[in-house]
């Protein structure tokens, strides 16, 4: 809190002496026994102020003003602070889900508050889902942590339990020599973290977090477009790895992507689990690489060989595979859906010697 606006507010509240204002030391929390001559209090320059002793009446008036001003300036509960920050859609949805009373209760809570833009840019299927207030309530509770979790205590791959029950994952990256923080891959607005409310704190998010339905494998298995991937991962014996704690980043080819690989290759691979495992591991990175934290450059896959990531205004491309859906929320990392299977360098045609045999 800046001192000068406080001084001016109090001076106005205190009224009285024409042309006079009061200077308070809010840090000490007590009224300094001085009156200052009202010079135009331009740009934080308190050094020019002349001090004179206060009368006891003036001290009394000032103390009353301080009490009043403190009441007025004390932050409200989380929904009020969210409103002040312009997170009006969040506040509306909190009301709709019947969570306002909870978020105004003693708490304390930490809320990751998505902006209005974050809500309006949700994909249609999510908007449809959150038109159901039960689902909406679950998603909103996934944005609330019990207790106060300040931004300084966030660390890379930290998992924190939410009020909803499932954990969300924090990631910290360095991108273009700046720190990028994400919560379940939603970018955190680091210029608006640790916003104080009477019953907790609020960190602003640039996207809405979707609670993970399960781990990498369970999530892929629940979606019909990944039937080939799930079959391949099972045949290759990679399920115990990929449903482990990880965390992992999976570039997940759709069935359509598998349909584009050279004829016969998939059948050959399915008959050769160790080779299939190599190809599949070429789709997995160790660690959670959310799109907000991705930079262009080579990264090493679980297979040991590199893929080249290209981040541009056109989106994210991995070697020649385009990410068509980024930041799929899972419990043990993240899934980015790709439109083309990644083949390790020795699979480039026409060198498919082993597959030709």
Minimum distance between the CB of residue 124 and ligand NAG, rounded to whole angstroms?
A: 16
Beta bridge partners of 197: 200
Minimum distance between the CB of residue 29 and ligand NAG, rounded to whole angstroms?
A: 50
Of 140, 252, 307, 334, which one interacts with ligand NAG (CB under 6 A)?
A: 307
- Interacting stretch for ligand NAG, rule CB under 6 A, among 64-72, 96-104, 245-253, 304-312? 304-312
Of 63, 100, 310, 322, which one interacts with ligand NAG (CB under 6 A)?
A: 310
Tell me: does residue 135 bind ligand NAG (CB under 6 A).
yes
Phi and psi for 202 in degrees, rounded to 5?
Answer: -130, 135
CA dist 147 and 163 (Å) reads: 10
The answer to whether the beta carbons of residues 170 and 158 sit under 8 Å apart is yes
DSSP 8-state secondary structure symbol assigned to residue 151: G
Residues contacting residue 45 through CB under 8 Å, at least 6 positions apart: none
What would the x/- binding string for ligand NAG be over residues 314 to 333, using CB under 6 A?
A: x--x-xx-------------
Q: Within 259-298, which residues bind ligand NAG (CB under 6 A)?
A: 298
Minimum distance between the CB of residue 103 and ligand NAG, rounded to whole angstroms?
A: 21
Tell me: does residue 72 bind ligand NAG (CB under 6 A).
no
CA dist 204 and 195 (Å) reads: 8
Q: Within 328-357, which residues bind ligand NAG (CB under 6 A)?
A: 345, 348
Minimum distance between the CB of residue 333 and ligand NAG, rounded to whole angstroms?
A: 21
Number of other residues whose CB lies within 10 A of the CB of residue 60: 12
How many binding residues for ligand NAG (CB under 6 A)? 15
Minimum distance between the CB of residue 97 and ligand NAG, rounded to whole angstroms?
A: 12
- Interacting stretch for ligand NAG, rule CB under 6 A, among 68-76, 82-90, 190-198, 313-321? 313-321
Closer residue to ligand NAG in complex, CB, 54/213: 213
Length of the chain: 357
* Residue ranges in 180-283 assigned as alpha helix (H): 216-221, 227-235, 239-242, 255-258, 265-270, 273-281
Closer residue to ligand NAG in complex, CB, 55/132: 132
Closer residue to ligand NAG in complex, CB, 38/325: 325
Tell me: does residue 312 bind ligand NAG (CB under 6 A).
yes
Phi and psi for 102 in degrees, rounded to 5?
Answer: -60, -45
Minimum distance between the CB of residue 212 and ligand NAG, rounded to whole angstroms?
A: 16
Phi and psi for 168 in degrees, rounded to 5?
Answer: -110, 155
Question: Of 168, 170, 119, 114, which Cα lies nearest the Cα of 146?
Answer: 168
Both tokens assigned to 215? 């781990």
- Interacting stretch for ligand NAG, rule CB under 6 A, among 46-54, 184-192, 259-267, 309-317? 309-317
Closer residue to ligand NAG in complex, CB, 17/127: 127
CA dist 282 and 68 (Å) reads: 64
Rounded to 5°, the CA angle 68-192-162 comes to 100
The answer to whether the beta carbons of residues 65 and 13 sit under 8 Å apart is yes
Closer residue to ligand NAG in complex, CB, 124/240: 124
Closer residue to ligand NAG in complex, CB, 176/314: 314
- Interacting stretch for ligand NAG, rule CB under 6 A, among 6-14, 48-56, 202-210, 305-313? 305-313
Tell me: does residue 306 bind ligand NAG (CB under 6 A).
yes
Residues contacting residue 43 through CB under 8 Å, at least 6 positions apart: none
3-state secondary structure (DSSP) of residue 293: helix
Beta bridge partners of 204: 113
Tell me: does residue 88 bind ligand NAG (CB under 6 A).
no
Closer residue to ligand NAG in complex, CB, 78/252: 252
The answer to whether the beta carbons of residues 144 and 111 sit under 8 Å apart is yes
Long-range contacts at 152-155 (CB < 8 A, ≥ 24 apart): 154/181
Q: Within 94-133, which residues bind ligand NAG (CB under 6 A)?
A: 132
Residues lying near ligand NAG in the complex (CB under 6 A) = 132, 134-135, 298, 306-308, 310, 312, 314, 317, 319-320, 345, 348
């Amino acid at each position: 809190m800046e001192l000068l606006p406080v001084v001016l507010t109090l001076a106005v509240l205190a009224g009285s002496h024409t042309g006079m204002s009061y200077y308070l030391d809010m840090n000490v929390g007590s009224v300094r026994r001085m009156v200052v001559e009202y010079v135009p209090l331009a740009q934080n320059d308190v050094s020019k102020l002349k001090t004179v002793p206060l009368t006891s009446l003036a001290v009394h008036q000032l103390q009353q003003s301080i009490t009043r001003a403190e009441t007025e300036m004390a932050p409200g509960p989380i929904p009020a602070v969210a409103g002040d920050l312009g997170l009006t859609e969040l506040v509306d949805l909190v009301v709709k889900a019947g969570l306002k009373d909870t978020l105004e209760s003693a708490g304390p809570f930490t809320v990751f508050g998505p902006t209005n833009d974050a809500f309006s840019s949700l994909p249609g299927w999510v908007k449809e889902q959150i038109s159901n207030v039960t689902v909406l309530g679950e998603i909103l509770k996934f944005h609330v942590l019990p207790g106060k979790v300040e931004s300084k205590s966030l660390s890379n791959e930290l998992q924190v339990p939410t009020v909803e029950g499932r954990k969300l994952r924090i990631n910290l990256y360095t991108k273009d020599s700046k720190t990028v923080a994400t919560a379940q891959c939603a970018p955190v607005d680091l210029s608006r973290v640790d916003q104080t409310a009477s019953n907790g704190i609020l960190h602003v998010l640039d996207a809405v977090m979707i609670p993970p339905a399960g781990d990498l494998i369970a999530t892929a298995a629940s979606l019909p477009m990944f039937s080939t991937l799930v079959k391949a991962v099972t045949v290759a014996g990679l399920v115990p790895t990929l449903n482990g704690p990880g965390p992992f980043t999976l570039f997940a080819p759709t069935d359509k992507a598998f349909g584009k690989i050279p004829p016969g290759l998939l059948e050959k691979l399915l008959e050769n689990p160790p080779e299939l495992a190599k190809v599949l591991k070429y789709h997995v990175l160790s660690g959670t690489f959310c799109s907000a934290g991705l930079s262009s450059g080579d990264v090493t896959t679980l297979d040991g060989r590199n893929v080249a990531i290209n981040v541009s205004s056109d989106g994210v491309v991995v070697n020649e595979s385009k990410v068509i859906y980024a930041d799929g929320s899972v419990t043990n990392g993240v899934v980015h859906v790709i439109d083309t299977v990644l083949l390790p360098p020795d699979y480039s045609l026409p060198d498919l010697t082993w597959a030709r045999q």
